[in-house]
Amino acid sequence: MNKAINWKFTMVLLLIGFMIAIQYNSVKNPKIRDTRDIWAIRQELAEEKKLHSELLSEIRDLDKTISTYKSLSESSAGQALNDTVDKLNRKAGTTDITGPGITIEINPSPESVAYGIPITSISSDLLTRFVNEVNRFKGITMEIDGKRYTVMSSIRVINGYTSVNGLNVSTPPFKIKIISPTMSDSEKLYNYLLASSIHDDFYLDNLVLDINQPVNDVSIRGWPEKFENLYLQELPKGE
């Protein structure tokens, strides 16, 4: 009889201990609720759909390239390959380019000049935010203070100075050039930057953005650095 009571008592204690352990774990690691409003969720969804659209566009371009190679004869395959290499070089930013675009001048604010406030190098955070604002528009080509900015570029602080591609950005004033696919795209970017709140961020750092109207002949230099081939090897002819 005593054994049966002890066994039941033991089972009750185990059940209570198990429930206490579950409750403790729930309190210690509460489930994180999504407290974003509907507009924040819609914004994230829009960004994901935009990324999905870009990936589909890249897949279509690659399928088109493969179809081109399959349809060409052996004699013209070399020219097609050269065209592909040229396209990749343009995308990587190693070639000079001229097209419709805008020129933006980063200048000290009039107040800082009037009061003699020292102007330092533009902060890396501010420059990064500006680049992110501009990159809302696809297909653009950018040059920051004479330094070509591509997807492989980096904005860092080196020895206290903001740098692009490892090269120091000049203390303002300096220029930023942006080329868009069409004149219409340049006008849209121009109007967007005129109304952007990024002006307030620059003004807090005693800087102003002077955005010139779009023109048809903005020129940007190619990235001078050459790519090194570390892994690919050319096969001997005939193989």
104-162 residue pLDDT tens: 999 998 888 888 888 888 999 999 999 989 988 888 889 999 999 987 788 999 888 89
Q: Is residue 20 part of a domain?
A: no
CATH number for 191: 3.30.70.1880
Given a contact cutoff of 8 angstroms between Cβ atoms, the answer to whether 193 and 101 are in contact is: no
14/2 Cα distance (integer angstroms): 18
Q: Is residue 35 part of a domain?
A: no
Q: Is residue 124 part of a domain?
A: yes
Q: Is residue 179 part of a domain?
A: yes
Q: Is residue 16 part of a domain?
A: no
The count of structural domains within the chain is 1
Residue ranges, the chain, pLDDT below 70: 1-13, 17-18, 21-37, 68-94, 223-239
The boundaries of the domain holding residue 116 are 98-220
Q: Is residue 199 part of a domain?
A: yes
The distance of Cα 98 from the centroid of its chain, to the nearest Å, equals 22
Q: Is residue 215 part of a domain?
A: yes
